[in-house]
Amino acid sequence: MKVIKKYQNKITYVSPKKIKFCIFPSKYCDYTQFGLTKIHPHAAINRGVFYEDPFGNTKINNFNWDKKPGVLFAKLLEFEALKNHYLGKQNWKNSKFAKRNVNYINKKNSVRGFTNSKVYLSMREKQIDILFNSILKKGIYPNKI
């Protein structure tokens, strides 16, 4: 409990190299965030995320919700899509994750404000390239904690 009080309402940096598993789904975490459907692009693998309110506040409890590991982070479709694109193995727009986005948009939904899947694929890949180039040029600024 002291640890929770110490870090309550603080942003903490965790190196991505240390993240191996996502949260194991339980009654304390949900299949998706904000009640999203299983066709939502981020719902491809049941990785278990904390229940959140619309303001992004997350509550942590003192139960054994974290005893079992969930899915490997490196197996998430989002991670694989970005990694393969960065390594030049596959364009992001050809990834399984991008195809899930297209499927979701084509069922009369919007992703990041886009309702046209072709425009979304083109613009999103450009945004990802801009992000990667920025990181390569400027690096990543870690939290000072």
Other CB atoms within 10 A of residue 31 CB: 16
Enumerate the β-bridge partners of residue 72.
21
d(CA 47, CA 72): 9
Which pLDDT score is estimated for 136?
A: 93
Strand partners, 58: 52
Average confidence (pLDDT) over 88-100: 95
Task: In the chain, count H helices and then E strands.
Answer: 4, 4
| pTM, 2 dp | 0.66
Length of the chain: 145
Tens digit of pLDDT for each residue in 105-122?
999 988 889 999 999 999
Average pLDDT, the chain: 77
